């Protein structure tokens, strides 16, 4: 009896080693606005490759500080293109691994159906009490919202009514709870499978704001992790791109 | 000057918020603490637990519920709107309401301890000398509980100054209205403005140290009770 058991154990052990070599874990930091799509993509990726994704969601600036201070992230999906570029210049990334994984679209959204018209006239009427926006200093969608209002010549008139979320998720939350009548959020937050999921919205024309290019990069911590490279490749593949587009991003 | 005008207005706003909150808490907290210290009611446990909730709940929970209940569709929001006051999120008044709730245990618990330490005896003696209940409270309880009031005021003030999560979640980051120092520091860090963040954050460390130093020094002067 002894021999088969030890053989079994050996076989099991070999199996584990083999699995460990193939399936790795990758830790990623993801901009808040990309939370829903990356969850969907990660689930597919795990099924297709056997690798495991451990994702943290948060503000891009906050992640930058954490990465500079030794956070264990291996791939970083930022809400802008400047932060990954900055990390690249500072030598915290795998050279040449940076790419644009999505181009964000700005939307003026209200939780109340019929409140926002499809031309954004509601901005000119200016009859609301609070307009929610991501902090323009740190949130790219917040900055885009300010640019759009400036292009429309409404920035000064609306400024006293602005309430800022620390990121785009919080800006969305202020509108979703009805505390702000409307707000500039990411289309990805209120859009699924080709339509707005609730309330009313105006998709802000792209010529009113600088393109919101969202870049991702493999960080130095992930340079020897096959799962990091595999995830980056997966995000560039047709399956992931279909998901990204279904959430209202351009590419 | 390393601090910008926005930093200074955040500091000023924070001090205003903490002062007003502390004053309100001493007013509201004193009767609650007195009741908690003296009552034999079965409600003592539940009321004490509710007051202590902010000690254990994360600010995200408190902030979230304040945002939802004070919003236009929430019960508090309905109430304030029916009074013609509008809704509380994104206003200074809203921060005060949030802070009063959030800092409540830091005021109530020291007061309750102080009241309990007095015991029945001094009050009974005063009663035999024909002091009315109000008389007893103002001439016997208040002087004996003075150290408790000092501790309560310092802790309530300091805790409100240090408040972050609740302000972030119901404030909306409006300069001069809801942008307190802790939120301003968060913004600086997020925007990678580390130098400015250091000035404010360092200031908070120094401030907090001296507040606690004052508190622990004042303990030495606590009169022996009982």
pLDDT per position as a tens digit, A11-26: 655 555 544 446 789 9
Superfamily of domain A2-103+213-246: Periplasmic binding protein-like II (3.40.190.10)
For residue range A161-170, what is the model confidence (pLDDT) as tens digits? 999 998 888 9
Mind giving me the DSSP string for A232-249?
A: HHHHTSHHHHHHHHHTT-
Q: Is B6 exposed, middle or buried (0-12, 13-18, 19+ CB in 10 A)?
A: middle
Look at the alpha carbons of B191, B195, B200, B202 in this order and tell me if their dihedral is positive or negative: positive
Residue B221 pLDDT more than 60? no
Residues in chain B: 226
pLDDT given at position A22:
62
Interface residues from chain A to B (CB-CB < 8 Å):
59, 61-62, 64-65, 129-130, 132, 135, 137-138, 162-166, 170, 173-174, 177-180
Q: Measured between alpha carbons, how far is B38 from B136 in angstroms, rounded to an integer?
A: 14
Residue A9 pLDDT more than 70? no
- Domain boundaries along the sequence of chain A: 2-103+213-246, 106-203
Q: Measured between alpha carbons, how far is A131 from A9 in angstroms, rounded to an integer?
A: 64
The alpha-carbon gap from B34 to the nearest alpha carbon of chain A, in Å, equals: 37
Q: Using a CB–CB cutoff of 8 Å, tell me whether B215 touches chain A.
A: no
The alpha-carbon gap from B55 to the nearest alpha carbon of chain A, in Å, equals: 24
Q: pLDDT category, B127, cuts 50, 70, 90?
A: confident
Kindly list the residues from chain A whose CB atom is less than 8 angstroms away from the CB atom of residue B6.
none
Beta-carbon separation of B173 and A166 below 8 A: yes
Beta-carbon separation of A179 and B169 below 8 A: no
Kindly list the residues from chain A whose CB atom is less than 8 angstroms away from the CB atom of residue B190.
59, 61-62, 65, 135, 137-138, 166
CATH of domain A106-203: 3.40.190.10
Kindly list the residues from chain B whose CB atom is less than 8 angstroms away from the CB atom of residue A137.
187, 190-191
Topology match between the domains A2-103+213-246 and A106-203: yes
pLDDT given at position A236:
96
Percent of chain B scoring above 90 in pLDDT: 68
- Helix A82-89 vs helix A60-68: crossing angle, to nearest 10: 10
Beta-carbon separation of A62 and B191 below 8 A: no
Closest CA to A225 of A28, A70, A16: A28
Kindly list the residues from chain A whose CB atom is less than 8 angstroms away from the CB atom of residue B73.
177-178
pLDDT given at position B184:
93
Of B90, B186, B189, the CB nearest to A163: B90
What is the distance of C-alpha B205 from the center of its chain?
Answer: 19
pLDDT given at position B226:
33
Residue B56's contacts (CB-CB under 8 Å, 6 or more residues apart) are none
Domains of chain B: 17-221 (1.10.3720.10)
Contact A160, A126 (CB under 8 A): no
For residue range A191-201, what is the model confidence (pLDDT) as tens digits? 988 889 999 99
Give the mean model confidence (pLDDT) for residues B90-102: 95
Which carries the bigger pLDDT value, residue A233 or residue A33? A233
Give the mean model confidence (pLDDT) for residues B53-59: 93
């Amino acid at each position: 009896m002894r021999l088969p058991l030890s053989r079994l154990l050996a076989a099991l052990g070999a199996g584990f080693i083999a699995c460990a070599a193939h399936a790795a874990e990758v830790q990623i930091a993801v901009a808040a606005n990309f939370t829903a799509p990356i969850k969907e993509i990660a689930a597919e990726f795990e099924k297709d490759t056997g690798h495991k994704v451990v994702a943290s969601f948060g503000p891009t600036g906050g992640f930058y500080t954490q990465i500079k201070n030794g956070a264990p992230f291996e791939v970083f999906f930022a809400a802008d293109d400047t932060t990954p570029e900055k990390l690249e210049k500072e030598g915290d990334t795998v050279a040449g691994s940076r790419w644009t994984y999505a181009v964000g679209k700005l939307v003026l959204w209200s939780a109340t159906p019929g409140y926002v018209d499809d031309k954004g006239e509601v901005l000119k009427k200016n009859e609301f009490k609070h307009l929610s926006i991501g902090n323009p200093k740190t949130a790219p969608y917040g900055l885009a919202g300010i640019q759009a209002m400036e292009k429309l010549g409404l920035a000064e008139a609306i400024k006293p009514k602005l309430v800022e979320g620390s990121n785009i998720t919080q800006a969305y939350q202020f509108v979703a709870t009805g505390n702000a009548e409307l707000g500039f959020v990411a289309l990805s937050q209120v859009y699924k499978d080709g339509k707005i999921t609730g309330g009313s919205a105006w998709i802000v024309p792209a010529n009113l704001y600088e393109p919101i290019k969202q870049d991702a990069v493999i960080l130095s911590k992930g340079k020897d992790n096959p799962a990091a490279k595999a995830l980056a490749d997966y995000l560039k593949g047709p399956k992931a791109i279909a998901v990204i587009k279904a959430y209202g991003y351009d590419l | 000057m390393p601090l910008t005008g926005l930093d200074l207005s955040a500091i000023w706003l924070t001090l205003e918020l903490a002062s007003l909150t502390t004053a309100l808490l001493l007013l509201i907290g004193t009767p609650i603490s007195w009741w908690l210290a003296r009552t034999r009611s079965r409600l003592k446990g539940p009321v004490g637990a509710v007051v202590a909730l902010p000690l254990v709940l994360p600010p995200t929970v408190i902030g979230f519920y304040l945002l939802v209940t004070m919003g236009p569709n929430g019960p508090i929001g309905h109430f304030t709107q029916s009074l013609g006051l509008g809704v509380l999120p994104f206003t200074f008044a809203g921060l005060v309401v949030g802070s009063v709730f959030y800092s409540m245990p830091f005021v109530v618990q020291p007061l309750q301890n102080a009241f309990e330490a007095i015991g029945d005896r001094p009050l009974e003696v005063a009663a035999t000398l024909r002091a009315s209940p109000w008389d007893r409270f103002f001439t016997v309880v208040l002087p004996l509980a003075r150290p408790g009031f000092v501790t309560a005021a310092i802790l309530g003030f300091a805790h409100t100054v240090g408040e972050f999560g609740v302000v972030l979640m119901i404030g909306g980051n409006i300069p001069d209205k809801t942008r307190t120092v802790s939120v301003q520091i968060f913004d600086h860090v997020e925007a990678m403005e580390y130098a400015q963040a250091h000035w404010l954050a360092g200031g908070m460390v120094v401030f907090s140290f001296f507040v606690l130093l004052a508190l622990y020094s004042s303990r030495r002067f606590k009169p022996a009770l009982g």
